[in-house]
A and B are shown apart, each in its own frame.
Chain A
Amino acid sequence: MKEIAKQIEARFLELGVKVQTGEIENKLEQLVNQYKVPPEEARRNVINSLLKKHNLQKSDFFTPRETPQVKASDIKQDGKWVTLRAKVVQLWDANQESISQVGLLGDESGTIKFTKWAKASALPTLEEGKCYIFKNITTSEWQGQFSVKINKTSEIIPISEDIEVGSTPTEFSGAIVDIQSGSGLIKRCPECNRALVKGACGEHGKVEGLYDLRVKAVMDDGERVQDILLNREITEALTGITLEKAKEMATEALDQAVVLDMIKNKLVGRYYVVAGAKLDRFILVETIRQDVKPIEEDIKRLLATSAAPIAQEA
């Protein structure tokens, strides 16, 4: 209670009004203990009555605080007010009336999803590839994933300099233990780029798909499992199968699955080191190479460990 009272007093002092801590405390005390009002509500009540008494505007008390500037990768808490200096990496389709824009923001430290509410209509429309300072936006969390929301009190300031978007690079080494369905030669919807399932897009129904090549694989180091995603470029370089060749193979065999078989043949059971940005449960692979680190070192180390007696025998 004392804490809250002190905070209120300090804030009023900043506005040039001297109030009595004791008076605040008494009022809080009364509301909370006698009238069973939750502390947060009591705080609000006290502040409002003081504002009225001293003829101040609510906006004077609440808004002028600058929200702390953070990096995208530092956002690890729900419900914080922050400022972000970032580039619009991608804009996605906003498929809800309450959302005006949705996509991915990035700064040097990494990327984060953003949602701009339709209510924030006074704000400028964001353009892909442009950089902005986003003031007064909130963080939120859903199933362990963080995002930022741009609301009507937020401020968007376009900046001319370019921000180099860093990916939060993750490395993983292990063996590829599975190639998942939906890998190999696939077709994508020309409208939304989604992979087609049985020639139909989840959003746009039956469409004339465009061919693409990709690999969704599972890596495993004996302790952890990691899903990885290889785009066309990486897939072509790693397997030596180009999109053109894949199409030829599929046409010749009258079956797209031959491409998948060939990919499995080349990748499953081998050790790789991958690096790339982590998105959801996937690593979007930027580099992948077969693990050729000399094993002699490991052998020496392990032999040394096993030569030592085991610490304790139960």
Chain B
Amino acid sequence: MAENNGFTREVAHRIFAAEFKEANMQVKEGSDQYSPQYLITPTGAKVNRVFIVGTLTEKEDVGSEAEFWRGRIVDPTGAFFVTAGQYQPEAAQVLSRTTPPEFVAVIGKPSTYTTKEGNVLTSIRAESMQVVDAATRDRWVVDAANHTTKRLEKLAGNEPNAVKAKEHYNTNAEAYKAMVTQALESVRAQ
């Protein structure tokens, strides 16, 4: 049932913070101004939506007139920046009423920002955010590890996204494998 009036919902990818932070390769499918934007990550995920679970450690309202919330969400490999403004009212509401530290799940769109120095910063524009429990967080780490491992296996192959990722990032697969191992061990250690 791939066709649904020509519209299919984008899958929410599971990406670790360390990998997401490195991602800076944007591609657009089609030339239409409404064509979806994708972010290709170092392990070759082509991402238009992400699903992450981690610990909300900091939050701040950086908006001037309307509220604009920014949160820092930490997983075993690093931190995500998540934003929610007036166009993401539900996520903004949850972020505003949640006191860190707290486990949260976020579904959102990747977005990138290029600084004056030319550095690309990645963040997630939250579509929705909810407070979850520790078990869900652990399950997510395993889920993300599973998907990252699968992508690493494909990275050696010839799939277009894998090839693009290798060309662009010159991905060090061993380093990402070590990241996965470390993430898994952190769950186990508890």
Contacts and interface: CB of A to CB of B under 8 A. Distances in A.
A313 B173 contact: yes
Contacts of A298: 142, 146
A14 to B, nearest CB: 43
Given A177-B51, A313-B173, A269 B136 contact: yes
Contacts of A313: 156, 173
Interface bracket on A: 35 or more
A93 interface: no
B13 A222 contact: yes
A299 B147 contact: no
B3 A143 contact: yes
Given A264-B90, A268-B130, A310-B173, A303 B184 contact: yes
B188 A222 contact: no
Contact of A175 (B9, B51, B90): B51
Interface bracket on B: 35 or more
Nearest to A270: B136
Given A143-B3, A178-B107, A220 B11 contact: yes
Contacts of A177: 12, 49, 51, 107, 128
A303 B148 CA distance: 12
B136 A302 contact: no
Nearest to B10: A225
Interface in B4-38: 4, 8-14
A314 B184 contact: no
B147 A144 contact: no
Interface stretch (B63-71, B76-84, B113-121, B174-182): B174-182
Nearest to B163: A314
Contacts, number: 111
Contact of A178 (B14, B128, B185): B128
A292 B53 CA distance: 16
A198 B149 CA distance: 47
Contacts of B149: 302, 305-306
B166 A314 contact: yes
Contact of A271 (B12, B127, B136, B166): B136
A302 B145 contact: yes
B168 interface: no
A3 interface: no
Interface string B129-164: 111100110111011011101001101100000000
A61 B151 CA distance: 60
Given A220-B51, A281-B4, 4 more contacts: A222-B13, A222-B147, A225-B11, A312-B156
15 contacts: A220-B12, A222-B12, A269-B51, A269-B104, A269-B106, A270-B105, A271-B136, A271-B139, A299-B184, A302-B145, A303-B181, A303-B185, A305-B149, A310-B156, A311-B153
Interface of B: 1, 3-4, 8-14, 49, 51, 53, 90, 104-107, 127-132, 135-136, 138-140, 142-143, 145-147, 149, 152-153, 155-156, 166, 173-174, 177, 180-181, 184-185, 187-188
A-B residue pairs, 6 tightest by C-beta: A269-B105, A269-B130, A268-B130, A295-B142, A312-B156, A177-B107
